[in-house]
Amino acid sequence: MHSDFAIRVRQNFGFLTAVVLFCVVYLLYHVSHPKGFSSAVLIQNSNEVFTLAMVAMAQTVPVLMAGLDLSVGALMTMVDCFASYLLSGAAGGTPLNIDVIGIRFSLGTLPGGIPGLLLGLVMCLGIGTLGGLVNGIVVVYGRIQPIIATLATGAIYIGIALHLRPQPGGKIDEDLNWALTNSLGDFASTVHIFHDGAASWFAPFAWIPTPFLLLAVIALIVWVPFKRSVAGRTVYAIGSAEGAAYMSGLAIDRAKLVAFTLGGFLAGCGGVFLAIQTSSGNADIPQAGAYTLNSIASVVIGGTSLLGGTGGAVGSIFGALILRVISFFFRVFDIAPLLQPLFEGIILLAAVSIGALRVLRVKNTLELFR
Amino acid sequence: MAGATETDFLVLSGISKRYGGVRALENVDFACARGRIHAVLGENGAGKSTLIKVVAGVVQPDSGSIKLEGVPYQFRNPAEATAAGIVCVFQELSLIPDLTVADNISISAPPKRFGLIDSRAQRRRAEQLLAEVGCEDVNPLLRVHDLPLSRRQMVEIAKALGQRPKLLILDEATSALTSADVERVYALLARLKAANVAILYISHRMHEVDALADRASVFRNGRHIETFDKGARSTSEIVQLMIGRDISTQYPPKPERPRPAPALKIEKLGWENRLQSVSLDVGAGEIVGLGGLDGQGQKMLLLALFGVLRGLTGTITVNGRVVRPGSPSQAKASGVGIALVPEDRKTEGLMLPMSITDNLAIASLKNLLSGPFVDAGKEQRAVEAGIERLRIKVGNRTDAVTTLSGGNQQKVVIAKWLMTEPRIILLNDPTRGIDVGTKQELYRLMRELADQGAAILFYSTDYDELIGCCDRVGIMYDGRIVRELAGADLNETNIIASSLNIDSAGNAPARNEAAHA
């Protein structure tokens, strides 16, 4: 029972439960769907899940430090609105003008074509990252609890989003939309690689939805290295025992800044994708709130403890997948959508209860309150 | 004190440290050398812990100097001391519970590859260090909170070893270890000594000091009393050096009478490996003390009686009825009537932001109801009675309880429990950190309560207080009551000797193997 494998299974029990639960519900979904197991359904599903998965990953970082980030949905929405300008791909370029209380600031012109799109993408992700950094600065130097600090910054981000898009609108470059929201084959034919996707070696991969691959790549090149960095290790230590982390000589403030900044970057990725997927920007306040709350639910279902110290962002991706698949069921079985929150609530409660079983093993009940 | 010689690694001169009005260290000169194991001895509050905190950079001394190999240092934090080669294994563990053993061992300087933590190298390092302390059986992948306390302490030692210390400080490092582990630590210390490491060893176990130390220093009341080489002093002489404080406190007279029938009877109480077959009686009208060195199970015994611990063995009888309270709420219920004045008044005794009135009434709300609601009039009268009874100095009763002085805060905690009209009162070191005047009031109050028929079980880290207040004192060691002292036997020499689990003649009994099985 002390083999490495057994230990890893036990330590990742919450995560593995989420993976198994996802596999079961998703298989069930495909079986009951008339077009189950088709590339079209997969593409549609992965488009619908991508943004929530990103926001859930962003939420994971503060939760690991035993905090909550109430601004993730708002930050995502703000980046979504920025993207509806910066990724429009207008051939003649996009003039960057900002109107503040009637005064116009001009920041030059974003060029057209591919260079403009790439620059716009970098700017969007930079804005998300900056938003996260601001959260971190308020928490670290303002000495304010994350939940209240991000409640305030979240309102600011929504305010900026409303200023940018008082009404839904804007546009996204059509090729960009087509390339990123379909299969790899469509991606290849749009950007003209692999003989426009006709290369024979490429055929077995052509069905894979592009958002799915993007999700996997971001998890792999952002989350995995972070978890193995000193800052990442410190984030886990802070959530587990901040005093012991300090006494071990770890750089607590720096790790918190890095953590919130990373959260901002991930939320920014979600915002960019939502804009690309919907081909517009929308400062939708209820939607931003729903994303924030669903991100917390995803984190918990994915096996991360709200008390901090255990879990990870990959689990949160599966948490987001589970939440979304449940909503897919309502379409297949034609159940009243009004029942959806009820079922989501029951699933959330069941997932959290599994984590609470540990309490039964505590012998000194005073420890439950520390 | 033996004069500082060139071979000394660490030299402290004139170190003083105060916490508020309390002198923790006063003008201490101290030195220790490489390749030696140096024991630091003293009773509770003698200044040992403050001494090592100063050396390890956890607290900064008010005055005095620290020199390492002749070079003066001022440590602002533990990291600076570690950088200078001073590594400390603290009594309170510094491990991070949700991280793995391997993560913890390399927490301050993990091995890296391409800028990221190299988990394979980290694991090899953990395996190596665990092997060095003889703990090959601990899988480095395990999380620390899944390990039993004894293994955690070995991991802590492995972590310290990984920092390649020049001076290793062990503060009660063997207190939670099994006897097999203690042997491993001994062997390890011998190797480190041969490798020219300076070792400071704080222990309450006299036979360990006998077996290990090359040299010992005795502290008392924050002062360095004497340093001597191995064998220069007998155990009973060491005990005499540790005693000897001025007695300035007055205690109320103890009544002369036959021992009353037990109101609280504890039989063979056991919990995990922290309480081992504890049996003790407390009669109605009696004050029974719990003594011994810190952390020998006294607090756990009180928590067990108050319904906080799960999985108890043995029986608890209150007024002839066997009870097994499952929570503090059941323990205070009218059929049982137990009250506990807890260890830490700031976290377990008081709701700090709430008012004095709220704090006083909170444990006895059930007695203050009119229908389903708390009756403001009843509450008012009960609170006033409580304040009067303990003579709590209160400005405005609606002020937050934090506005009171430490002594008055403690009175609030006690008054709160007296308002539940308990028959059995458990006191967990109630006089710690409060002024002498309030202490004396509390001693009188305890005797008054006992005279009114309460059974009082009183844990104190202050021996003087136990002798002055208690009708009998049970001394705990390793989760057991090793001796019960009463009458003329209740004196400082006996208490200290029993606390160290040696008889008054100074012989250490063999370590109890069965107790650690």
Encode pLDDT of B36-94 as tens digits. 999 998 876 678 888 988 998 888 999 999 999 989 999 888 888 888 999 988 766 67
Alpha carbon distance B456, B448 (integer Å): 11
Tell whether the model's pLDDT for residue B428 goes beyond 70.
yes
> Which residues make Cβ contacts (< 8 Å) with residue A131, sequence separation at least 6?
A71, A75, A78, A79, A153, A157, A264, A267, A268
A66 assigned to some structural domain: yes
Range of the structural domain that residue A239 is part of:
43-320
Please indicate, yes or no, if residue A341 is contained in any of the structural domains: no
- The answer to whether residue A312 neighbours chain B at the CB level (below 8 Å) is no
Give pLDDT tens digits for B175-192.
667 777 888 888 889 999
Q: Is the per-residue pLDDT at B242 higher than 50?
A: yes
The distance of Cα A360 from the centroid of its chain, to the nearest Å, equals 33
A7 contacts on B by Cβ (under 8 Å): 139, 141-142
Q: Is A61 exposed, middle or buried (0-12, 13-18, 19+ CB in 10 A)?
A: buried
Query: Is residue B505's pLDDT more than 60?
Result: no
Banded model confidence at residue A164, pLDDT cuts 50, 70, 90: very high
Looking at the DSSP bridge assignments, the partners of residue A128 are none
Tokens 């620290």, residue located? B66
pLDDT score for B404: 83
- Nearest by CB to residue B117, choosing from A228, A250, A309, is A228
* DSSP β-bridge partners for residue B168: B87, B199
The shortest CB-CB distance from A240 to any of B98, B309, B311 is to B98
Yes or no, beta carbons of A249 and B97 under 8 Å apart: no
Instruction: Report residue A117 as tokens.
Output: 């799109």
- The per-residue DSSP string of B222-238 comes to TEEEEEEETTSS-HHHH
Look at B271 and A244 and tell me if their CB atoms are within 8 Å. Answer: no
- Interchain proximity A233–B107, CB inside 8 Å: yes
Task: State the total domains in chain A.
Answer: 1
Residue B513 above 50 pLDDT? no
Do the Cβ atoms of A245 and B96 come within 8 Å? Answer: yes
What span, in angstroms and rounded, lies between the C-alpha atoms of B424 and B333? Answer: 12
Contact at CB, A236 and B99, closer than 8 angstroms: yes
pLDDT higher than threshold 50 for residue B1:
no
Q: Which helix (H) or strand (E) holds B31?
A: strand B22-33
The tokens 């879990």 sit on which residue? A311
Q: What is the pLDDT of residues B332-367, one digit of tens each?
A: 987 899 999 998 888 888 988 899 999 999 999 888
Is the Cβ of A12 closer than 8 Å to some Cβ of chain B? no
Query: Per the domain annotation, does A10 fall within a domain?
Result: no
Q: Looking at A265-269, B236-240, B301-305, B392-396, which range is the least confident one? A: B236-240
Nearest to A229 among B107, B116, B310 (CB): B116
Distance in angstroms (rounded) separating the CA atoms of residues B348 and A183 = 59
Buried b (16+ CB within 10 A) or exposed e, A337-363: eeeeeeebeebbeebeeebeeeeeeee
Chain B residue whose CA is closest to A239: B98
Structural domain contains residue A199: yes
Q: A250 and B108 in contact by Cβ < 8 A?
A: yes
Average pLDDT over residues B16-41: 86
On average, the pLDDT of chain A sits at: 89
Domain membership of residue A119 (yes or no) is yes
Distance from the Cα of A161 to chain B's closest Cα (Å) equals 37
Average pLDDT over residues A307-325: 92
Residues 6+ apart with CB under 8 A from B430: B341, B410, B413, B414, B442, B458, B460
**Least confident range of A291-300, B86-95, B230-239, B345-354:** B86-95
CB A66 within 8 A of CB A289: no
Please report which confidence band the pLDDT of residue A370 belongs to, taking 50, 70 and 90 as the band edges.
low
All residues of chain B having their beta carbon less than 8 Å from the beta carbon of residue A11 are: 141, 143
State the CB neighbour count (10 A cutoff) for residue A145: 12
Task: Give pLDDT tens digits for A105-155.
Answer: 777 778 877 888 999 999 999 999 999 999 999 999 999 999 999 999 999
Q: CB–CB of B110 and A233 under 8 A?
A: yes
- Over B402-444, what HEC string results? HHCCHHHHHHHHHHHHHCCCCCEEEEECCCCCCCHHHHHHHHH
Domain ranges in chain B? 8-242, 262-337+422-516, 352-421
Q: Please say whether the beta carbons of A26 and A33 come within 8 A.
A: no
Report domain B262-337+422-516's class: alpha beta
Residue B247: what pLDDT? 47
Of A225, A245, A249, the CB nearest to B82: A249
What pLDDT, on a 0 to 100 scale, did the predictor assign at position A7? 84
Residue with the bigger pLDDT between A318 and B431: it is A318
Contacts of B212 (CB under 8 A, 6+ apart): B37, B39, B186, B189, B201
Cβ atoms B159, B96 nearer than 8 A: no
Q: Is the CB of residue B121 less than 8 Å away from at least one CB of chain A?
A: no
Side-chain half-sphere exposure of B137, counting CA atoms within 13 A: 10
Buried b (16+ CB within 10 A) or exposed e, A243-263: ebbbbbbbebeebbbbbbbbb
Q: What is the pLDDT of residue A340?
A: 77
State how far the Cα of B59 lies from the Cα of B17, in Å rounded to an integer: 9
Say if B311 is an interface residue toward chain A (CB within 8 Å). yes
Name the more confident of A355 and B452. Answer: B452
ipTM: 0.75
| Residues B242 and B496 sit within 8 Å (Cβ to Cβ) | yes
Phi/psi of residue B309, each to 5°?
-95, 140
CATH of B8-242, one of 3.30.465.10, 3.40.50.300, 3.90.420.10, 2.60.120.260: 3.40.50.300
**Structure tokens, B4:** 């500082």
